[in-house]
């Protein structure tokens, strides 16, 4: 009886140790997967931030000077040779006529159509390329060469619930965390699990939307906001919070507009991901603000916070150039050299 009792106690101890090891192993594996997911998301956002484009003013004074000098030289050469001058005059007349017809054709295409609507206004985005965002959403225009399969546009159905993208080297990328609602981006994995289930917006998480600027402009001008909200890719349902902060060289801001502020020097990305064990104790609503949660609340709900600060190349140079230009104009306005 004593030997049997010892065997039972030893078996119970070994079983409890194996369960503890398995639990710790699963928890550690979950932490590793969560850290890998956070690293992938932060790297993706950082790559888009480093590829942001803005409007660059083009200085055509040197080109105009060269073209002016070339025109003067050709004129002098034409006066020295009569036949050559006549031939050049004839060729110039033909070129002028062709340019005039081409201008007329361009005016007919780009001008008002039969209904009196300006066609160029339909495909022009009102705001200039750059970076726009607040504390919980980021929109930026990135320049990246399309892949080979992206050069062939996919034909979308007329009654499709989402917008169809077109090939282009400048895309408008938006990051935000959506809450589960009827109107939103659907989860592709849920559609695979149950093809008959309608999953539009019923899953919360991090959404990345990448569309051509003309597609977004057309949707906004026609009031097609429903399909725009449903367009995107739900890349991480585990993400419950995403926040941004922007450094302008002096202070951190929570809103940014490139039309008046150019580009920020630094962008801070704060990502909150809830673990499976924390979600079992009480799931957090997607879109919760991490700034309102204490460290004790984050630990109790299993929310782990990841941060990354990204420097935008060339942002400081452009800011210094703008400041120098403003200082020069101020000195000249006071009559100082």
Closest CA to 199 of 178, 213, 184, 211: 184
Of 290, 292, 293, which is closest to residue 307 (Cα–Cα)? 290
246, β-bridge pairs: 253, 267
Q: In this predicted structure, what is the pLDDT of residue 326?
A: 47
pLDDT of residue 140: 92
CB of 234 closer than 8 Å to CB of 185:
yes
Pairs from 321-328 (Cβ < 8 Å, separation ≥ 24): 322/262
Q: What is the pLDDT of residue 193?
A: 56
How far is it, in rounded angstroms, from Cα 146 to Cα 112? 32
Q: Residue 292 has what pLDDT?
A: 79
pLDDT along the chain (337 residues), means of 10: 90 88 78 90 93 79 74 46 39 38 35 36 59 92 78 60 78 90 73 53 83 84 80 87 92 91 91 77 74 80 89 72 48 43
What's the confidence (pLDDT) of residue 46? 94
Q: Residue 27's pLDDT is what?
A: 74
Q: Residue 72 has what pLDDT? A: 52
Domain parsing of the chain, residue ranges: 117-237, 239-337
Which residue reads 């002016």 in tokens? 68
What residues are paired with 268 via a beta bridge?
A: 245, 309
pLDDT confidence of residue 80: 43
3-state secondary structure 307-323: EEEEECCCHHHHHHHHH
Q: What is the model's pLDDT at position 160?
A: 65
What pLDDT is stored for residue 230 in this prediction?
A: 83
């Amino acid at each position: 009886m004593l030997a049997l009792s010892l065997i039972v106690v030893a078996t119970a101890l070994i079983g409890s140790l194996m369960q503890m090891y398995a639990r710790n192993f699963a928890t550690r594996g979950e932490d590793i997967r969560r850290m890998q997911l956070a690293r992938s998301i932060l790297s993706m956002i950082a790559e888009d931030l480093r590829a942001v484009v803005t409007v660059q003013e083009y200085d055509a004074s040197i080109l105009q000077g060269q073209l002016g000098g070339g025109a003067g030289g050709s004129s002098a050469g034409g006066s020295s040779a009569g036949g050559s001058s006549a031939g050049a005059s004839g060729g110039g007349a033909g070129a002028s006529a062709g340019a005039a017809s081409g201008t007329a054709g361009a005016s007919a295409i780009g001008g008002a159509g039969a209904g009196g609507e300006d066609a160029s206004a339909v495909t022009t985005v009102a705001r200039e390329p750059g970076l726009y965002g607040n504390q919980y959403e980021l929109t930026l225009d990135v320049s990246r060469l399309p892949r080979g399969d992206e050069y062939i546009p996919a034909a979308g159905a007329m009654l499709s619930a989402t917008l169809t993208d077109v090939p282009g080297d400048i895309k408008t990328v938006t990051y935000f965390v959506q809450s589960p609602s009827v109107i939103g981006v659907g989860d592709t994995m849920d559609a695979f699990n149950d093809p008959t289930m309608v999953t539009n917006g019923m899953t919360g998480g991090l959404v990345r939307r990448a569309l051509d600027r003309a597609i977004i402009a057309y949707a906004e001008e026609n009031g097609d906001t429903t399909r725009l909200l449903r367009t995107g890719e739900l890349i991480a349902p585990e993400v419950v919070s995403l926040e941004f902060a922007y450094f302008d060289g002096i202070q951190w801001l929570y809103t940014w507009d490139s039309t008046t502020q150019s580009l920020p020097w630094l962008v801070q990305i704060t990502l909150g991901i809830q673990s499976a064990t924390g979600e079992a104790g009480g799931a957090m609503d997607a879109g919760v603000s991490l700034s309102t949660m204490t460290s004790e609340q984050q630990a109790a709900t299993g929310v782990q916070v990841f941060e990354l600060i990204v420097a935008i190349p060339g942002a400081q140079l452009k800011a210094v150039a703008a400041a120098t230009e403003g200082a020069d104009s101020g000195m000249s306005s006071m009559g100082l050299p």
